[in-house]
């Protein structure tokens, strides 16, 4: 740990500005006060604490990179990454709420929306007055979103929307949904659908063993009349949703490191306190191997996302680079969580420690926003020029 109490084996703090460190500290304090004391209970009870939405707005967790004139933070991508890292250190479900709102709802409205849409929606989303969700995945189209069948028909003064989306974070509690659907020409368009529009429902998905403090549901569109002005005018095709996913995946690449750090710190502390055979278990080589490998992998991932953040600040990060970092961080964090679970022995399966909750959460994180396999194939396609997933 560094002097400020952060796991930082390679003095990555030396690469951060004072502003970055202040932002990180303020989110860390927020998580300690507003999330950590209750998260085990929320997760055990499968409860989404809807009051957290306004609090996230107040602390600046929604849309950190969106310009301030629309209510965003106007911050750089390193700040955004640090915010996601600290929130996910608290819980991946909480980070999901924040990154869906910022990257998958505010970002497309900012990047592809009209000035009227930006002014109407972004300040309310930034402040947490409204919660948004992002509808891309369908029951029969997950890794292959281009196959979507949700459709819009131009009816003159409105679009008629029909179809369904599945596995949508925030959907049961949302006021607005950014939805991707095909028009009569088979082209993918984005629309802003508001709660209250006739024919629009958001049934909740129950019985999850993962992300239990985050609400997940469906979006069902049964002849929904969407006003023409709710179409995102400045994008067409799969590049629309994929652009949003780049931003969210970037946040996950940082966020998962927060989980890994939490698991590592808990395991290190536990191994120094827990005695067996007359000495701390940290004295045994097998436990040291686990801990040493954890901190090595965390450090490699920290350096990777820092460099990716600098590339993003310069507008140079590619989608394939983001895929690599998302995949690496989540896989690394899941491995760290499993090893930490073992170091905690039987205690590791209880809610006394955050490990098992993190581990179960990561089983979603490794699947959503592009699965582990698909991200590997994106790297494969990038380096060979041959797409193996189509
Ligand atoms: P499938 O695509 O059916 O994949 C199943 C398996 O097959 C995977 O292992 C996959 O890697 C593999 N596979 C598929 N195609 C290939 C291929 N070509 N080559 C090799 N292997 C392949 N979606 C949203 O739109 N919005 C959200 O807010 C959202 N939130 C979510 C929250 C949670 C908790 C979860 C679990 C999912 C969420 N999703 C969301 C959906 C998520 O993005 C999808 O689950 C994901 O894209 C995978 O789709 P699928 O589940 O249909 O799996």
**Ligand 1 binding pocket includes 209 (Cβ within 6 Å):** no
**Ligand 1 binding pocket includes 134 (Cβ within 6 Å):** yes
Q: pLDDT value at position 3? A: 65
Domain containing 332: what range? 239-384
Question: Is residue 120 located within the same domain as residue 222?
Answer: no
Q: Residue range 149-170: average pLDDT?
A: 98
Alpha helices in the chain (DSSP H): 18-30, 36-45, 52-59, 77-90, 92-99, 107-112, 115-127, 239-273, 285-313, 319-343, 355-365, 372-384
Rounded CA gap, 338 and 331, in Å? 11
Distance 153 CA to ligand 1 centre (A): 27
Distance 331 CA to ligand 1 centre (A): 16
Sequence-ordered list of residues with C-beta below 8 angstroms from that of 2, at least 6 positions apart, any chain: 8, 11, 13
- Percent with pLDDT over 90 in the chain: 98
**Considering the entire predicted model, what is its pTM?**
0.97
Distance 97 CA to ligand 1 centre (A): 18
Question: Is residue 210 located within the same domain as residue 307?
Answer: no
Nearest to 88 by CA among 359, 366, 386, 358: 358
Residue 171 Cα: closest atom of ligand 1: 28
- 30-49 confidence digits (pLDDT tens): 999 999 999 999 999 999 99
Rounded CA gap, 292 and 281, in Å? 14
Question: Is residue 114 located within the same domain as residue 215?
Answer: no
Q: Do 257 and 302 touch, CB atoms closer than 8 A?
A: yes
Backbone φ/ψ region at 167: left (φ over 0), alpha (ψ -120 to 50), beta: left
Question: Is residue 313 located within the same domain as residue 357?
Answer: yes
In a domain, 315, yes or no: yes
Nearest to 99 by CA among 169, 180, 177: 169
204 pLDDT exceeds 70?
A: yes
In a domain, 7, yes or no: no
Rounded CA gap, 332 and 335, in Å? 5
Phi, psi values for residue 268, rounded to 5°:
-65, -45
Question: Is residue 256 located within the same domain as residue 356?
Answer: yes
3-state secondary structure of 63: coil
6 pLDDT exceeds 90?
A: no
Which pair of tokens denotes residue 238?
Answer: 């799969």
CATH of the domain at 257: 1.20.140.10
**Ligand 1 binding pocket includes 353 (Cβ within 6 Å):** no
Q: Residue range 197-217: average pLDDT?
A: 98
Domain C-terminal end among 213, 236, 259 = 236
Sign of CA dihedral 129, 135, 136, 140: positive
Residue 136 Cα: closest atom of ligand 1: 25
Which pair of tokens denotes residue 304?
Answer: 């990777």
Domain C-terminal end among 69, 100, 131 = 131
Check: complex ipTM more than 0.95: yes
Question: Is residue 186 located within the same domain as residue 266?
Answer: no
- 87-136 confidence digits (pLDDT tens): 999 999 999 999 999 999 999 999 999 999 999 999 999 999 999 999 99
CATH of the domain at 157: 2.40.110.10
Which pair of tokens denotes residue 37?
Answer: 């004391």
- 256-285 confidence digits (pLDDT tens): 999 999 999 999 999 999 999 999 999 999
CATH of the domain at 124: 1.10.540.10
Residue 318: band (very low, low, confident or very high) from pLDDT cuts 50, 70, 90: very high
Domain C-terminal end among 131, 163, 180 = 131
Q: Do 47 and 213 touch, CB atoms closer than 8 A?
A: yes
3-state secondary structure of 70: helix
Tell me the sheet residues that pair with 360.
Answer: none
Q: pLDDT value at position 255? A: 98
Question: Is residue 247 located within the same domain as residue 323?
Answer: yes
Question: Is residue 137 located within the same domain as residue 127?
Answer: no
Active-site positions?
Answer: 369
Question: Is residue 222 located within the same domain as residue 297?
Answer: no
In a domain, 389, yes or no: no
In a domain, 351, yes or no: yes
**Ligand 1 binding pocket includes 99 (Cβ within 6 Å):** no
Residue 214 Cα: closest atom of ligand 1: 34
The total of structural domains in the chain comes to 3
**Ligand 1 binding pocket includes 364 (Cβ within 6 Å):** yes
Q: Fill in the DSSP letter of residue 48.
A: -
Mean per-residue pLDDT of the chain: 97
Question: Is residue 230 located within the same domain as residue 278?
Answer: no
- 130-154 confidence digits (pLDDT tens): 999 999 999 999 999 999 999 999 9
In a domain, 104, yes or no: yes
């Amino acid at each position: 740990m560094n002097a400020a109490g952060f796991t930082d084996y390679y003095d990555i703090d030396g690469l951060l500005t004072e502003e970055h460190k202040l932002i990180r500290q303020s989110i860390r304090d927020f998580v300690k006060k507003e999330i950590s004391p209750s998260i085990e209970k929320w997760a055990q009870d499968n409860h989404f604490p809807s009051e957290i939405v306004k609090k996230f707005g107040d602390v600046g967790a929604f849309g950190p990179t969106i310009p301030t004139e629309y209510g965003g933070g106007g911050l750089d991508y390193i700040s955004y990454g640090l915010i996601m890292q600290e929130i996910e250190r608290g819980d991946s479900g909480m980070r999901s709420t924040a990154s869906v709102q910022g990257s998958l709802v505010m970002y497309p409205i900012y990047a592809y929306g009209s000035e009227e849409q930006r002014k109407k929606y972004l300040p309310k989303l930034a402040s947490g007055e409204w919660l948004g969700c992002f509808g891309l995945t369908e029951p029969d189209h997950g890794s292959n979103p281009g196959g979507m069948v949700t459709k819009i028909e131009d009816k003159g003064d409105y679009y008629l929307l029909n179809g369904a989306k599945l596995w949508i974070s925030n959907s049961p509690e949302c006021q607005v949904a950014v939805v991707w659907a095909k028009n009569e020409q088979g082209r993918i368009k984005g629309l802003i659908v508001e709660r209250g529009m006739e024919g629009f429902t958001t049934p909740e998905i129950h019985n999850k063993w993962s992300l239990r403090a985050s609400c997940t549901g469906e979006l069902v569109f049964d002849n929904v009349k969407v006003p023409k002005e709710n179409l995102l005018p400045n994008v067409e095709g799969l590049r629309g949703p994929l652009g949003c996913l780049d931003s969210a995946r970037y946040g996950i690449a940082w966020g998962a490191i927060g989980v890994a750090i939490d698991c590592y710190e808990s395991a290190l502390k536990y191994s120094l306190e827990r005695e067996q055979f007359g000495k701390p278990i940290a004295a045994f080589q097998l436990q040291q191997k686990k801990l040493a490998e954890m901190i090595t992998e965390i450090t490699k991932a920290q350096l990777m996302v820092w460099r990716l953040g600098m590339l993003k600040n310069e507008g140079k990060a590619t989608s394939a680079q983001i895929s690599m970092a998302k995949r690496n961080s989540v896989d690394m964090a899941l491995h760290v969580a499993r090893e930490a679970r073992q170091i905690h022995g039987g205690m590791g399966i209880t809610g006394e420690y955050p490990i098992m909750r993190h581990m179960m959460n990561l089983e979603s994180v490794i699947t959503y926003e592009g699965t582990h396999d698909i991200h590997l194939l994106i790297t494969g396609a990038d380096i060979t020029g041959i797409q193996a997933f189509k």
